[in-house]
Amino acid sequence: MSRLVMKFGGTSVANIERIRNVARHVERERAAGHDIAVVVSAMAGKTNELVGWCKEASELFDQREYDAVVASGEQVTSGLLALVLQQRGVAARSWQGWQIPILTSGTHGSARIESIDGSAILEGFEARKEVAVIAGFQGLHQKTRRIATLGRGGSDTSAVALAAALGAERCDIYTDVDGVYTTDPRVVPKARRLDRIAFEEMLEMASLGAKVLQVRSVELAMVHKVKTFVRSSFDDPADPRPGTLICGEEDILEQPVVTGIAFSKDEALITLRRVADRPGMAAAIFMPLAEADINVDMIIQVASEDAVATDITFTVPAAELERAEKILHKAQPHIGFASLNGASDVVKISAIGIGMRSHAGVAARAFKALAEKGINIRAITTSEIKFSVLIEAAYTELAVRTLHALYGLDKA
């Protein structure tokens, strides 16, 4: 029998009735002849509640104990789904990450999966024909024998990693949307669901603001070539829609120039005025930020006319703006900038498409269209399959709609 991994997010398992609906989806795929491993998240809102309890118990909490607490949400869901499946006559058992085991690094709260031994799950398929219901988001740090969690969205990563370890035919990620759209339908009502999207495109969209999948899960799917579907758990289990297939570029017959428009409001802009124009200054600015785990994205350096001083502008996550400013002010005597200006009223708009590799002038058309709408571009960054612009947050919806229409994404 072929193997299938199904993952259900928090809204899909928010209460017992929705868990019963998940069970019907599992029954359908089991009847189709699949051996099934189901990965579940905590019930909607439960992780936030557990995090709140940790903070209430101790302001400076032990990250290892924090992981022990927050991992319990998925443990509850996996047990409940196993109970519901059993009540419906389906052989099932729950698994925690440490029981499989899923071995991780020791970075509690944001651990990375290092290996998975799927032999016990495969034995359950063969010997007992049982569905494996697995608590996502968690694993075991082998050296310390402590539970380690994978960070927000980690259940997606758990599911894709398990699909690779079990040699699954595919991994179906069930969520509250029926696939990946050309952009956020709440901003552009004419946004279309994509039938297929390449791994690289999905990786860019996930990292640039699309909330459908966690970035690391897409990275794993691309590396291990795990075909992944994004589907809706709220579809009729007897007649679900196909969703969006995330696959290799070679599996996509027609490659549009632009596949989707993503946007991220989690951006802040920092400008350092009159930085000394000499070797080592870029390192002096960005090394302290890197050591503090602050991710820097767009970087612009204005050419110095007098070869004495220059201006450097870059972006950081909005939540890190205050911390980044403090770090830079502390380093000011060494860097020697004249002033620091920070702003959080900006948004990053990105166009993504593997078709950009073979087409010229894609970004230039966008710059012209935005200018015609009176939208000023404050920063630009590009790669082989995407370009991003930083603009004032007030123009977010206008910019997204303009680019979505410009590349014909609202047309079937």
Same domain, 168 and 285: no
d(CA 341, CA 110): 31
Same domain, 211 and 281: no
Mean pLDDT of 49-66: 92
Same domain, 186 and 299: no
- Residue 256 forms part of a structural domain: no
- Residue 121 forms part of a structural domain: yes
CB 76 within 8 A of CB 42: yes
Residue 106 parent element (H or E) = none
Of 199, 226, 250, the residue that ends a domain is 250
Q: What is the pLDDT of residues 396-409, one digit of tens each?
A: 999 999 999 999 99
- Residue 171 forms part of a structural domain: yes
Which residue from 17, 69, 24 is spatially nearest to 235, judged by alpha carbons? Answer: 24
Output the pLDDT for position 85: 98
The reply to whether omega before 279 is within 30° of 0 (cis) is no
Same domain, 57 and 110: yes
Mean pLDDT of 201-220: 86
Output the pLDDT for position 78: 98
Mean pLDDT of 296-316: 83
Residue 14's domain comprises 2-250
- Residue 79, judged by CB atoms within 10 A of its CB (0-12, 13-18, 19+), counts as middle
- Residue 411 forms part of a structural domain: no
CB 352 within 8 A of CB 407: no
Same domain, 225 and 197: yes
DSSP 309-348: EEEEEEEE-GGGHHHHHHHHHHTHHHH--SEEEEEEEEEE
- Residue 180 forms part of a structural domain: yes
d(CA 166, CA 100): 12
Q: What is the pLDDT of residues 109-156, one digit of tens each?
A: 889 999 999 999 999 999 999 999 999 999 999 999 999 999 888 999
B/e letters for 283-314, b = 16+ CB within 10 Å, e = fewer, are ebbeebbeeeebebbbebeeeeeeeebbbbbb
- The number of domains in the chain is 2
- Residue 184 forms part of a structural domain: yes
d(CA 284, CA 209): 29
Of 210, 227, 250, the residue that ends a domain is 250
Output the pLDDT for position 410: 86
Same domain, 235 and 192: yes
The average confidence (pLDDT) of the chain is 92
- Residue 230, judged by CB atoms within 10 A of its CB (0-12, 13-18, 19+), counts as buried
CATH number at residue 204: 3.40.1160.10
d(CA 146, CA 65): 9
d(CA 132, CA 89): 14
Of 222, 250, 278, the residue that ends a domain is 250
Output the pLDDT for position 128: 94
**Amino acid, res. 285:** I
Rounded to 5 degrees, φ, ψ at 235 are -65, 160
Same domain, 241 and 267: no
For the entire predicted model, the pTM comes to: 0.86
- Residue 255 forms part of a structural domain: no
Output the pLDDT for position 412: 64
CATH number at residue 399: 3.30.2130.10
Residue 368: strand, helix, or coil = helix
**Sign, CA torsion 218/224/229/233:** negative
Q: 281 versus 27: which is more confidently predicted?
A: 27
* Contact partners, residue 410, CB within 8 Å, separation at least 6: 182, 188, 190, 191, 192, 404
Q: What is the pLDDT of residues 160-190, one digit of tens each?
A: 999 999 999 999 999 988 999 999 999 999 9
**211-220, 302-311, 366-375: the lowest-pLDDT one:** 302-311
Same domain, 308 and 216: no
Instruction: Provide the 10 A C-beta neighbour count for residue 17.
Output: 7
Same domain, 112 and 154: yes
**23-32, 147-156, 176-185, 211-220: the lowest-pLDDT one:** 211-220
Same domain, 231 and 301: no
Same domain, 295 and 244: no
- Residue 412 forms part of a structural domain: no
